[in-house]
Amino acid sequence: MSLLTFEPTSSRPNLAESMPETLYLIDAPSLIYQVFHALPPMSASDGTPTSAVFGFTRDLLYLREEKKPDYLICAFDPSGPTFRDEMYSEYKATRSAMPDDLRLQWRAIDEVLEALGVLRAEVPGFEADDVIATIARRAAERGIRTFIGSGDKDCRQLLTPGIAIYNIRKDEVFDEAALQRDWGIRPDQVVDLLAMVGDSIDNIPGMAGVGPKTAAALLAEHGTLEGVLANVDRISGTKRQENVRRGAAVARRGQTLVALRSDVPIEIDWEAARVRPPDAPRLAALFRRFGFRRLEAQFAAAPEPAARSDATYHLVNDPEQFGSLCRQLAAEPAFALHVERATGRPAAQEIVGVAVAWKPGEAWYVPMRGPAGERHVEASEVLEGLRPLLESPTPRKLAHDLKRQALVLRRSGVRLAGLAVDTMIADYLMEAGERSHSLDQLAQRYLGHTLTDRAALVGKGSNEVPADQVPIAAVAAHAGERADVSLRLSAELEHKLREICLWSLYETLERPLVSVLIEMEHHGIALDVPLLDRLAREFAAKLAEIEERIYASAGRPFNIASPIQLRQVLFDELRLPVLKRTKTGPSTDQEVLEGLAAQHSLPALLIEHRQIAKLKGTYVDALPKLVHPHTGRLHASFNQVVAATGRLSSSDPNLQNIPIRTEQGRQIRQAFIPRSGQRTTEERARAGAAGTAGTSQAWEWRLLTADYSQVELRILAHFSQDEALCRAFAGDEDIHSVVAAQIFRVDAAAVSPAMRRTAKTVNFGVIYGLSPFGLATRLGIPQEAAAAFIRAYFEKYCGVEAFIQQVLGEACRQGWVGTILGRRRRISGVRPAAKFPLNQPEREAVNTVVQGSAADLIKKAMIDLDARLRAGRLETRMLLQIHDELVLEGPAHEMDRVAPLVVAAMTGALELRVPLKVDVAVGANWLDVEPLAG
């Protein structure tokens, strides 16, 4: 074996000063594993996981653009065994197999490398580190300064004045001086130190009782491992002498495993390794496929200057012209609408102008505000002139994001009616997994047209100026173009929806839901801000208390937010078992902490600290700042085009993630309250029509919550037609207790709370492809027991397993899955004979069918409930939709009348093979609600 050697430092010049060229030599497996575990799960529109692809690509682009190397090479491990496996059969034997979700991304990473023109180095029988050692030596021979991108400590043996290690996460260079500061040794002593200490990640044993500090001290005194072994009698301490004697053979074997080979048989094409312009069109296409929108935009061909020869955008800036426009609009069957706001912020209410279009290539813009001295039509005149048209079912209204257009108008007192085609939702129905359904994206995708950038008109961020301070002619061109493009897209997308049989889903579900969401967002919900202020103080005190308990449990203070210090405390000092590893060491993620919580008090304290800190920052501190200054209420946005399954999501703030199982999460719910005070004129009129204008109860308002009971499991029973599941739901039995009795093989009366908890986790876990490891971690049981529970479940509920296989088979054959109302999602990456544990695309396929059908159900219920409330001329209204729960507010005297309407709408929304159940409760806030009597 040939080890990497160079001339002594003193006999040659400093290469850092003399080398004109640089090479960044990347340990690709190390970096890929690192980003895979560091980033949250990501997926392309077809469900293929992409988090590692994104992280690795981002890092390579950073290196190219910021470090500007002359050469860039990525070294990879071979697919088969290496010479070390032949030397030592236990080498890396404790490492877990590559996760399926990472394996699915390997080909995509290769495609990115090819498009970037990055040389890929891989040699059968040799690890990436050996390839790196060889290339680094050859680079040095050519006078090229090398930076090794690797987290492996093995690479420290390669350090020379011309070779350094680069940490891309910290943007730090680790050189010989850094090695001396960290370990107190020279690069030529690294192999001996690692051989003495061992490497748990690679399963290389070391000398018992000899850690890095001891090994470094011995090498500092005796120079080499052989020097240490030759002077055992001079080592202080009888126990340490014995450890070194007994570990001699182990350490010598470790030398051969740790030492990197610099004689790997590889031919390096240095010209191919030279950094050159990438294949931008290919990269843009890849990034579009992966859903990396910003990266796609970075490499997309620069748009041609926007040609306006085929479009005419008229400025209507006097009352006579405006009157003529209104008469023309009234004669049209449909028109596209774009409402220009003063700023792009979600809460912005002021309308700057309105653009309309009814034939392609032409639009009209009516300015309502503008810079001083520029002509415009008075805002009140525009709104009153358009009101009869906008509030009438005809003409039909087309737009991109109809809800946003309607909300701005609603805040100005205009109720938009006659909603027709929403191009944003239409595109979402066709490509549910896409991350963006913006007008810019759609114009480029369907029309080959590049929209003018709004930021070019008004700026962005802190530099944004209100649109009414921009010349009106410029705003007219911008708004007119959006109305024109929306019109053209609406015809294209309606045709496509009809072609693939999705128009009915749009027309009967998604479009009617827009009107419901408009009212929910417009009304918002009241907050008890003083309560939140008190909670902020209490949470801060609680965090400080937990920190002291954490330090006491650990035996010393440490940086709770530092993964490195946390690993040291958990695994080195407390000797807790390593449940999961990343490429950089033991994992300390939430799942691991949950698995360790039963063995020591510290992990449970860390979990509690993380939960409270997140709640405080995300909700307790943030919610009061989101209260609208004019309405005094919180106006969250409910998004129809974000979740690929079809579920609604919420933003500004995200209300879906407020936990209900923790005491702190419940306290936050207590801050959501019904309205109080006098009625508006509109409410008084409605109350008078309903005959309740004079009741004293009109002053007392309540929140009503309605929550589907185990809706996803009921949908699973519906689809699977599993006899046991269907029978349990038909008999209104506790499904978790029923399943517990089955998998534990005991009578129902003998089911303990722990058994029921296990069954509940299994019940929901099977929908999402929960692995034995995942179940074991959540329940704190051995993996073998978890696997046995999963096997027992499928033995007793064979219809569920058959359903899952049916879904996966359909996904594999047709490339998509569908929900109960026909919603579709493209899926790729499903194995022809998939088995548990499922990979990410397989989990997403099953989840889409079940959770997507639950989304169909509650959307239909919301539409039906809204109609019932309107028909009853009730003041009660929907405010929030959170997962499977609806939150309404209304006068206390209406609650007895409203509750049956809610139950009827929710249980009757869809006909399933099993009954639907809804729990209804009423109270003075979102937490303190109690079941309504009767």
Of 17-31, 327-341, 530-544, 765-779, the range with the lowest mean pLDDT is: 765-779
**Higher per-residue pLDDT: 697 or 513:** 513
**Model confidence at 246: pLDDT above 90:** no
Q: At what angle do helices 711-720 and 753-767 cross, to 10 degrees?
A: 60
Of 5-19, 265-279, 766-780, the range with the lowest mean pLDDT is: 5-19
pLDDT in tens, 112-169: 999 999 999 999 999 999 999 999 999 999 999 999 999 888 999 999 999 999 999 8
CB-based contact 736:729 (threshold 8 Å): no
Of 510-514, 647-651, 742-746, the range with the lowest mean pLDDT is: 742-746
Phi, psi of 359 (to 5 degrees): -140, 140
Radius of gyration for the chain, computed over Cα atoms and rounded to the nearest angstrom: 33
**Model confidence at 206: pLDDT above 90:** no
Question: What number is the average pLDDT over the span 84-110?
Answer: 81
* Residue 243 CA from chain centroid, whole number: 49
pTM of the model: 0.80
pLDDT in tens, 681-712: 455 555 555 555 444 444 699 999 999 999 99
pLDDT in tens, 349-359: 689 999 999 99
**Model confidence at 227: pLDDT above 50:** yes
Most confident of 231-245, 480-494, 568-582: 480-494
Give the Cα separation of 259 and 224 in Å (integer): 14
In percent, how much of the chain has pLDDT > 90? 64
pLDDT confidence of residue 783: 85
Question: What number is the average pLDDT over the span 388-411?
Answer: 96
**Model confidence at 678: pLDDT above 60:** no
**Model confidence at 470: pLDDT above 50:** yes
Of 36-45, 503-512, 530-539, the range with the lowest mean pLDDT is: 36-45
**Model confidence at 926: pLDDT above 80:** yes
Give the Cα separation of 164 and 186 in Å (integer): 13
- List, in sequence order, every residue forming a beta bridge with 826; answer none if it has no partner: 816
Q: What sign does the CA torsion over 483, 485, 491, 494 have?
A: negative
pLDDT confidence of residue 111: 96
* Per-residue confidence band for 305, with pLDDT thresholds at 50, 70 and 90: very low
pLDDT confidence of residue 436: 86
What is the DSSP track for 568-627? IIIIIIS------EETTEE--SHHHHHHHTTT-HHHHHHHHHHHHHHHIIIIITTGGGGB
Question: Which residue is it, tokens 């415009």?
Answer: 376
**Model confidence at 778: pLDDT above 90:** no
Residue 67's alpha-carbon distances to 58, 61, 113, 391, 930, in angstroms, are: 13, 10, 18, 58, 62
pLDDT in tens, 22-40: 999 999 999 999 899 888 8
**Higher per-residue pLDDT: 777 or 648:** 648
Please count the other Cβ atoms lying within 10 Å of the Cβ belonging to residue 137.
21
- What average pLDDT does the structure give for the chain? 89
Question: What number is the average pLDDT over the span 182-197?
Answer: 92
Give the Cα separation of 770 and 787 in Å (integer): 10
pLDDT confidence of residue 591: 78
Question: What number is the average pLDDT over the span 547-561?
Answer: 93
